[in-house]
Amino acid sequence: MIKPNLLYIFPDQFRQMSMSLWNELLFKEHCSGKADPVYTPNLDNFSQQAYLLPNAVSNCPVCSPHRGSLFTGQYPNKSGVPLNCNSERVISDLPASATCFTDILAQSGYHVGYIGKWHLDLPTPNAPDKPGEYVDSSVPAWDSYTEPQRRHGIHYWYGYGTFDEHRNPHYYDTDGVRHEPRTWSAEHEADKAIAYLKNENAERDPSSPFALFVSMNPPHSPYQSLEDCREQDLQLYEAFIDEQLLVRDNAKLDLEKAASARYYFANVSGVDQQFGRIVETLKEIGEWDNTIVVFTSDHGETLCSQGLTDAKNVIFEEAFLVPFLVKDVDQNLPKVSETFLNSADIMPTILDMLGLKESLPTNITGQSKASSIVDNKNDIHSNCALYIRNLDGEKDENGKVVSYFPQSRGIRTDRYTFALEIDRKLKLDSILLFDNKRDPYQLANIAWQASASLTQELLSQLAAELARIQDPWAELRILNDILPYPHSKDC
């Protein structure tokens, strides 16, 4: 039996609302509020033969923690990556010993390729072109070089740690040679993905199935000028004023950031075009029907919603929800799946769809949602999603972050968003409770005492999930007076 291939494309900071497919009758009712006025024809076409998951989230909505969960099948407390990776956060580093998504694929006979942003390593002075120096000269260093022994089974490498100059990217190839193509990064990465699929330069073993991950940085910030996007993409939005672009009811147009919306959307449309080019190549080489294709993102983007200037790391829909479309082998019709997909669920779900469920590590806390998505089977674990917000914790004598502070935990159900936040003394600091059906823009924070039965149900769900994944809140019994954690013997 021929094994199916995998193509996994995940641009960074691409919010769920930024897809024009939400204008389709089949999908319209599943969008959380108004969709952005974007142009994404390739995603629209793709959605016509894929599963769309409107309840897919980024549990800890910043780059590295999501990626840690994606590759390990663990939540941030177990993945080794509770915070965004930089040289001062020694607590956050993908363990070399972890059995990752790509390790399992390689062990199962796949040729594994990775192109683009990685952002899972603790940066160290290991630049291959500058011995003894960091790749990144800034302090703390964010960018990094991933050495071969830390690539977790990946055979073809063309990546970097994290670097936010979209028109001036750089990459290290499989042998550690640095490349500076001087072009818009997503377009260059699509070029490399196309070359990999066509095997133009013997990038892969054509006798093996392939698993290719393409991690584009746009529409991640910066998005402030033409220096951050392509002119042909910006032209789609230049004629519109801010009010015509920021159409969600919770967007604050008086923020300085409002003028950046056109550049953000230009990057969205540019990414869509590059996705379309890769998809067309997959069809051209005759592997479309035999390939599982995923389009998703690390996390969303607030883009002036809630009056926030920070793009992420909040439970609000704009940052917490992510696009997630997956085309199964031989699929040719669209379907909406209400399944709740957590970041840690992606690895077991996709491996299950590839027929590799038996190869999964037994200790992961992520759960396969394949049967719920594909067969529409009821899944007791598909009715909620966790929210996790971590901050820097204690520092050592050298100023390095050696622990993390679990500031907030929450839950999103098919109707409600609920989050608790604590102060540094582990005392309750604030509560958020929104009815997303009546209030999709999350503008009316409900007094949690208003409905004792609802609050108790949400508290019970949150406590049970935190205990299941052995989150610090459950382990330390944080807010034990209101969160009904199960006894240890019941966990």
For residues 7-11, give the mean pLDDT. Answer: 98
Provide the pLDDT for residue 382: 64
Give backbone dihedrals phi and psi of 288, rounded to 5 degrees, phi first. -60, -50
Percent of the chain with pLDDT over 90: 95
For residues 92-115, give the mean pLDDT. Answer: 98
For residues 424-443, give the mean pLDDT. Answer: 97
pLDDT at 400 over 50: yes
Compute, in degrees rounded to 10, the torsion defined by CA atoms 258, 260, 262, 267.
Answer: -140
For residues 86-98, give the mean pLDDT. Answer: 98
For residues 382-409, give the mean pLDDT. Answer: 96
Q: How many residues does this entry show for the chain? A: 491
- Kindly report, residue by residue over 328-340, the tens digit of the pLDDT: 999 999 999 999 9
Radius of gyration of the chain (CA): 21
> Which carries the bigger pLDDT value, residue 98 or residue 489?
98
Q: Which distant-in-sequence residues (6+ apart) come within 8 Å of 363 by Cβ?
A: none
> Which carries the bigger pLDDT value, residue 378 or residue 201?
201
DSSP class of 60: S
Question: Token pair 């996390």 is at which residue?
Answer: 299
pLDDT at 376 over 80: no
The ranges of the chain annotated as CATH 3.40.720.10 are: 5-374
CB of 386 closer than 8 Å to CB of 342: yes
Band (pLDDT 50/70/90 cuts) for residue 183 is very high
Q: Mean pLDDT check: name the lowest of 102-111, 376-385, 481-490.
A: 376-385
The pTM assigned to this predicted structure is 0.97
What's the CA gap between 434 and 443, in Å, rounded?
8
What's the CA gap between 467 and 413, in Å, rounded?
17
pLDDT at 491 over 50: no
433 strand-pairing partners: 418
- Kindly report, residue by residue over 234-245, the tens digit of the pLDDT: 999 999 999 999
Provide the pLDDT for residue 490: 44
Q: Mean pLDDT check: name the lowest of 50-64, 81-95, 364-378.
A: 364-378
For residues 450-474, give the mean pLDDT. Answer: 93
pLDDT at 483 over 70: yes
The amino acid occupying position 250 is N
Band (pLDDT 50/70/90 cuts) for residue 276 is very high
Average pLDDT, the chain: 96
pLDDT at 123 over 60: yes
Provide the pLDDT for residue 448: 81
Q: Which tokens go with 267?
A: 């990057």
> Which carries the bigger pLDDT value, residue 264 or residue 490?
264
Separation of CA 82 from chain center:
14
389 strand-pairing partners: 408
pLDDT at 391 over 50: yes
Provide the pLDDT for residue 375: 83
Question: In the CATH hierarchy, which top-level class contains the domain 385-490?
Answer: alpha beta
- Kindly report, residue by residue over 19-49, the tens digit of the pLDDT: 999 999 999 999 999 999 999 999 999 999 9
Provide the pLDDT for residue 392: 98
Provide the pLDDT for residue 453: 86
Q: Does domain 5-374 have CATH number 3.40.720.10?
A: yes
The ranges of the chain annotated as CATH 3.30.1120.10 are: 385-490
What's the CA gap between 269 and 282, in Å, rounded?
20
Provide the pLDDT for residue 489: 47
